[in-house]
Structures are given as structure tokens and as C-alpha cells.
């Protein structure tokens, strides 16, 4: 038995980087190195109960209320595997084009840690439930090749090494140190509600040859993996809640070299955006170390959302020997063909076919579709359309104003405090003429700020378009009187000059007028006289 490559125990090595070494710029990295990346993604399944016991698999309950002898590791308690979790794992495997093992076992991974009640984790070792799959990942097509041509969106096939099942650990609260960190804490408080929640780990094979697009590829893979799993309905896949967690392996191979470099594993990557940032920052850091003539230490690193940097997580690591052996308390899984086939029939329309269909329905170009995919907006747009918006409008909101706000706040689109239904409602107000574009953006802003439903925001902020022609008429008359010269130009046939008058009216009505109506009123008055 040899551990899978990602689990090879690491002997402690002298820390070469005692003095800080300046990272290289990304361009410098690309000039000298070819990155090799790999992703290990943990998905918390959305089953009702835990992996091996009947406790609720719930998020956010009072601490230690969903615990029983099994998930608390009490003496004598025995695990029994959750059928729905096994089926979910097989579904994920099938959706990722994997082979399903005809026979496989659970294994114990032995190590001591207080958030793990048995001091071993039930996992799978050299017999994963699903193996040898792939996911075709589409990349946004905004890069330019060396001849200056805009590249068409490309597709990268990510090979999946394995999909296996395991149980989650509890959660520790570190007390007495600075801001809840483990360093400097005087003690920790452990909640085992999460212990035993079913996890599926999806491990890619090393991804090579992506060059400067490696960070983008990592993000695109994570995004599309999330979409695939969400479509299966087996998990809510929320990175910010920890139901999807990505560990990113990165190494650099000097261009021309035949062997891969030493890899690091970056943990604590808590958003899709961070997946990209973590790869980029780790590439730059490693290049700095290598260029200084120092070797890379194989280690776990932690990504920091605030700085966008990784730091060594090695402080308490040591030569680890997990002493895997087949779990004697659980019998092997042997999914029969009929069972797997029946699960295959439950697969929703997936990835390639579904995306092709949506692209046609929504009337998007390849480039537009790639942008939608890259932003992780497929489900959001679909839901917005389902709530009554047109495809064009839904795409415009999510990739325009909302993407801008998400980016400014450093969150994913789905992390924004607005639902597709609310977006559709705002648009309906626009379509009815109650809001113009500017007011609609303000309504969105209000919803995001937690001021309520779009209707409430519009009422509270007084955003309604001024469509009362008497009020508008007065404003128009005032504008004409104040801008006699411009008015004359319009009367002389220079219709374009009316824009200045429209602007003046909009200013006096604080933007709450419909520009088209104002324009019509101005032209009526000036041609009539």
C-alpha cells in the first residue's frame, strides 16, 4: 500500500525561507516556469443525517446538540454507512465521468486531533469509490495571443483522479489568543455537530501545460465543479459556509526541465476568487524562492483572504504516518451495475449538453457564454429568467452591475445579498416605466444594503420615476426659460441640442424623470411655438 501522491508523509525539512524572499511578478514567473497545479475539493453532502449515524447533518445549530455515541466516538459505538451519502458520491462520480468501483472499502486514517472524536477519520485509501474521470472546463476568451488576435474561449479537460467518501471533523474555537487564532490560544472549545457529516473528496490529476492561465483554470474548474454538483442537488456547495472547500496544490517546473518541482498544498481557500488568487500568489512566491537558489519545502500553506498571500502552516506539522488500514467496522461497498445504472438515470442534464442548450436559448455568443461560466452565473441567470426576466436583461444585471459590486466587495456573485427573484422584480419595475436605469441601480443598492424587497426600497427611498406630465411640464418650462439660447437652437432644427435641456430637467427632478418622456415634452413645446 502506498499513499496516494497527495498524502505522502513529509519529513520535516530545514526551513529555507527564514528571511523573507521577495515574490516575483507573475510575468516573471511565466517567463521562466511552467506551473503544475492540482485541486483537492471537499464537498459536504446535503444529506439529512450524518455519514455513519442518524444525527442531523445541519449547519448552524447550537453546539454539541447533534451528537450521539457514534459521531462522538463513545466506546462501543459502531458506524453504519448512510445509503443516501453513498448514492450522492456515486452521482458525483458519474457526473464527473468516473468509473465506479465494483468493490471498495473504507479505511481508517489514524492521527490524533481533538476535533476528531475517534482520533481516526473514516475515509477511503487505495480503493476510492469513483476514479478516472474528467471535467471539461471552459475558460473566458478574453486573452490575446501573440499575433494580437483575440482567442476564442478554450476548453481544458481536467482529469479526475478519484472521488472518495469520508467524514467531516468537529470545529474548534480557539480562546485566549488574538482574534480566535490557534497561535497564542490558551485553550480550545470543541463542537462536534459537524463531526461525521458526509464529505466527498474530489482529487484532480496534476494539471499541466496551462501556463499563465493556470490560476484562471483553477478557478474555472472549481466554479464548474460547483455548478455540476449543485445541479445534482447533493450539496448546497457554499464555499463561504464551508460546504465546499478547495485545497490547491501548486508547483513550478523550470521551462526546459524534465521533472516537476516540489509542490505545496494551500488550504483555507474560501472563495472561487481566492482559488485563482492562491494559485497566482503561490506561483509568484515559489518563483521568488527558486530564483534565490533555494528549494521549495513540501508543506501545507494557508491562504489569507486579506493579504492574498500564503503562509507556512507547518508550525505543528511533523512526519505523519497515517497508518491507513481497512475499516473493520464497515463492510465493503460493491455497487452493482443495476444500482449504478439507476443512479445514472437520475443524473440531470449536465455540463456540456445543458450549457449548449442554455447558450442557444439565451442567444449568447461563445464569448458571452464563457464570461457567464467564468463568473459562475449560470444558475443565477437561469433563476432570474425563471422569475420573469428576459435572458438579455438577466445577463446584463449579473455580469454588469452585480458583478461590479461583487468584485468591489470581494465576494462571489451568489454571496451577494440579492436573489434572482429580486433582480427580476427590479427589472419588472423598469419595464413598467416605474424605474429608469439609474433608479434601478439605486434599488439594487438598497436591496443589497438589506433595506428590504425592491418595492420597499423604491417606496422608502422615493425612487419612483416622475411621470406626472404637469410636474414635468413645469420643469421643462423652467429649463427652457433658463436656457433660452439652447431652446432657440432646437427651434432652429438642431434637435440634438435638446439633450442639454433634458439634462437640465433630469437635474431638477433628481434623476427621477423618464428621459424619453422629458425629451418628448421638450420637443413638443419647442416645435409648437
Partner 1 sequence: MSTITRDEVAHLAHLARLAVTDDELDTFAVQLDVILSSVASIADVAADDILPTTHAVPLTNVLRADEPGTSLNRDTVLLAAPAAEGGRFRVPRILDAQE
Partner 2 sequence: MTEFIKLSAAELAGLVADGTASARDITQAHLDRITSTDERLNAFVTVDAEGALATADAVDARRAAGEQLPPLAGVPIAVKDIVVTNGIETTAASKILRGWIPPYDATIVTKLRAAGLVPLGKTNLDEFAMGSSTENSAFGPSRNPWDLARTPGGSSGGSSAAVAAYQAPLAIGTDTGGSIRQPASLTGIVGHKPTYGGVSRSGLIAYASSLDQAGPFGRTVLDAALLHEVIAGHDPADSTSLDLPVPLVADAARIGAAGDLTGMTIGVVSNLSGEGYEPGVVSAIAATVAQLEQMGAKVVECPCPHFDYALAAYYLIAPSECSSNLARFDAMRYGLRVGDDRQASLEAVMAGTRDAGFGAEVKRRIIIGTYALSAGYYDAYYGQAQKVRTLISRDFITAFSGCDVLVSPTSPIVAFELGPRAEDPMAMYAVDLCTLPASLAGVPAISVPCGLSDGLPVGLQIMAPVLADDRCYRVAAAVEASLNSPVLAAAPQL
Judged by CB under 8 A, the residue of 14, 75, 450, 493 near partner 2 is: 75
Q: Around Cβ 340, how many Cβ atoms within 10 Å?
A: 18
CA dist., res. 463 & res. 443, Å (int): 8
Contact 320, 9 (CB under 8 A): yes
Specify the stretch interacting with partner 1 by CB under 8 A; choose among 30-38, 319-327, 442-450, 521-529. 319-327
Minimum CB separation from partner 1 for residue 265, in Å?
20
Single residue of 48, 157, 295, 507 touching partner 1 by CB under 8 A: 48
Residue 396: other Cβ atoms inside 10 A: 15
Q: Which stretch binds partner 1 (CB under 8 A): 35-43, 186-194, 245-253, 422-430?
A: 186-194
If you ran DSSP here, which 8-state letter would residue 198 be given? E
Phi (first) and psi of residue 279, to 5 degrees: -65, -45
Residue 258 touches which of partner 2, partner 1, none (Cβ within 5-8 Å per kind): none
Task: Identify residues 327-366 at the interface with partner 1 (CB under 8 A).
Answer: 328, 330-335
Taking the complex as a whole, how short is the minimal distance between the CB of residue 1 and partner 2, in angstroms? 6
Q: Rule CB under 8 A: is residue 119 a binding residue for partner 2?
A: yes
Binding partner 2 by CB under 8 A: which of 10, 77, 448, 495?
77
Answer for which of 21, 58, 190, 403 binds partner 2 (CB under 8 A) is 190
CB–CB of 201/41 below 8 Å?
A: yes
Q: Of residues 4, 63, 206, 511, which one binds partner 1 by CB under 8 A?
A: 63
Does the protein bind partner 2 through residue 211 (CB under 8 A)?
A: no
Given the complex with partner 1, which of 330 and 383 has the nearer CB atom? 330
* Smallest separation (angstroms) from partner 1 to the CB of 297: 18
| HSE toward the beta carbon, residue 20, CA cutoff 13 A | 6
First to last CA, the chain: 95
Q: Which does 172 bind (CB under 5 to 8 A by kind): partner 1, partner 2, none?
A: partner 1
Cα-based distances in Å from 172 to 51, 63, 123, 180, 268: 20, 11, 21, 10, 15
State whether the Cα torsion 83-87-88-93 is positive or negative. Answer: positive
Q: What is the DSSP string of 291-345?
A: HTT-PPP--EEEE-TTT--EEE--TT--------EE-TTSPPB---HHHHHHHHH
Query: According to CB under 8 A, which one of 117, 128, 420, 454 is a site residue for partner 2?
Result: 117
Pick what 76 binds: partner 1, partner 2, none; C-beta below 5 to 8 Å, kind-dependent: partner 2
**Computed from CA positions of residues 267, 271, 272, 274, in that sequence, does the dihedral angle turn out positive or negative?**
negative
The answer to whether residue 77 forms part of the interface with partner 1 (CB under 8 A) is no
Q: How far is the CB of 248 from partner 1 (least distance, A)?
A: 24
Cell of 466: 416622475
User: Whose Cβ is closer to partner 1: residue 192's or residue 362's?
Assistant: 192
Rounded to 10 degrees, the C-alpha dihedral 113/119/125/128 comes to: -90
Q: Residue 347 gets which letter from DSSP?
A: P
Give the binding site for partner 1 (CB under 8 A): 47-49, 53-56, 62-69, 72, 80-86, 103, 105, 112, 114, 172-174, 176, 182-183, 185-192, 315-316, 321, 323, 326, 328, 330-335
Which residues of this chain interact with partner 2, rule CB under 8 A?
Answer: 1, 3, 9, 69, 72-81, 108, 110, 112, 114, 117-120, 186-188, 190, 321, 323-325, 328-331
Amino acid at each position: 500500500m502506498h499513499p496516494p501522491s497527495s498524502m505522502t508523509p513529509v519529513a520535516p525539512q530545514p526551513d529555507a525561507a527564514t528571511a523573507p524572499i521577495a515574490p516575483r511578478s507573475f510575468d516573471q514567473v511565466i517567463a521562466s516556469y511552467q506551473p503544475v497545479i492540482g485541486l483537492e475539493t471537499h464537498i459536504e453532502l446535503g444529506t439529512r443525517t450524518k455519514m455513519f449515524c442518524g444525527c442531523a447533518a445541519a449547519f448552524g445549530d447550537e453546539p454539541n446538540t447533534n451528537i450521539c455515541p457514534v459521531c462522538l466516538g463513545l466506546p462501543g459505538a459502531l458506524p453504519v454507512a448512510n445509503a443516501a451519502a453513498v448514492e450522492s458520491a456515486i452521482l458525483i462520480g458519474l457526473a464527473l465521468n468516473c468509473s465506479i468501483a465494483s468493490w471498495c472499502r473504507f479505511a481508517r486514517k489514524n492521527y490524533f486531533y481533538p476535533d476528531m472524536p475517534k482520533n481516526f477519520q473514516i475515509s477511503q485509501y487505495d480503493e476510492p469509490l469513483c476514479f478516472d474521470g474528467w471535467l471539461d472546463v471552459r475558460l473566458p476568451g478574453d486573452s490575446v495571443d501573440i499575433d494580437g488576435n483575440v482567442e476564442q474561449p478554450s476548453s481544458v479537460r481536467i482529469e479526475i483522479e478519484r472521488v472518495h467518501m469520508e467524514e467531516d471533523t468537529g470545529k474548534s474555537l480557539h480562546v485566549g489568543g488574538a482574534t480566535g487564532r490557534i497561535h497564542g490560544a490558551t485553550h480550545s472549545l470543541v463542537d462536534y455537530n459537524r463531526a461525521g457529516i458526509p464529505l466527498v473528496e474530489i482529487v484532480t490529476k496534476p494539471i499541466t501545460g496551462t501556463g499563465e492561465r493556470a490560476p484562471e483554470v483553477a478557478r474555472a474548474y472549481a466554479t464548474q465543479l460547483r455548478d455540476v454538483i449543485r445541479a445534482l442537488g447533493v450539496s448546497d456547495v457554499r464555499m463561504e459556509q464551508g460546504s465546499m472547500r478547495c485545497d490547491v496544490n501548486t508547483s513550478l517546473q523550470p521551462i526546459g526541465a524534465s521533472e516537476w518541482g516540489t509542490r505545496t498544498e494551500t488550504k483555507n481557500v474560501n472563495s472561487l476568487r481566492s482559488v485563482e488568487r492562491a494559485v497566482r500568489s503561490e506561483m509568484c512566491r515559489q518563483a521568488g524562492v527558486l530564483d534565490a537558489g533555494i528549494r521549495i519545502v513540501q508543506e501545507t500553506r494557508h491562504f489569507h483572504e486579506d493579504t492574498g498571500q500564503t503562509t507556512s502552516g507547518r508550525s505543528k506539522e511533523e512526519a505523519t504516518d497515517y497508518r491507513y488500514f481497512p475499516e473493520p467496522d464497515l463492510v465493503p461497498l460493491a455497487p452493482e451495475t443495476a444500482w449504478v445504472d439507476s443512479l445514472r438515470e437520475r443524473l440531470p442534464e449536465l455540463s456540456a449538453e445543458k450549457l449548449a442548450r442554455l447558450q442557444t436559448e439565451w442567444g449568447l455568443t461563445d464569448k458571452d457564454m464563457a464570461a457567464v461560466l467564468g463568473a459562475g452565473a449560470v444558475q443565477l441567470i437561469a433563476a432570474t429568467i425563471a422569475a420573469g426576466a428576459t435572458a438579455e436583461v438577466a445577463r446584463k444585471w449579473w455580469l454588469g452591475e452585480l458583478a461590479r459590486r461583487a468584485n468591489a466587495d470581494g465576494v462571489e456573485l451568489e454571496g451577494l445579498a440579492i436573489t434572482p427573484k429580486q433582480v427580476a422584480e427590479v427589472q419588472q419595475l423598469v419595464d413598467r416605466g416605474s424605474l429608469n436605469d439609474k433608479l434601478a441601480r439605486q434599488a439594487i443598492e438598497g436591496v443589497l444594503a438589506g433595506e428590504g424587497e425592491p418595492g420597499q426600497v423604491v417606496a422608502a427611498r422615493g425612487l419612483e420615476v416622475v411621470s406626472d406630465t404637469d410636474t414635468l411640464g413645469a420643469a421643462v418650462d423652467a429649463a427652457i426659460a433658463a436656457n433660452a439660447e439652447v431652446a432657440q437652437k432646437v427651434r432652429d432644427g438642431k434637435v440634438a441640442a435638446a439633450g442639454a435641456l433634458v439634462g437640465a430637467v433630469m437635474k431638477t427632478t433628481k434623476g427621477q424623470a423618464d428621459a424619453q418622456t422629458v425629451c418628448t415634452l421638450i420637443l413638443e413645446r419647442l416645435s409648437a411655438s
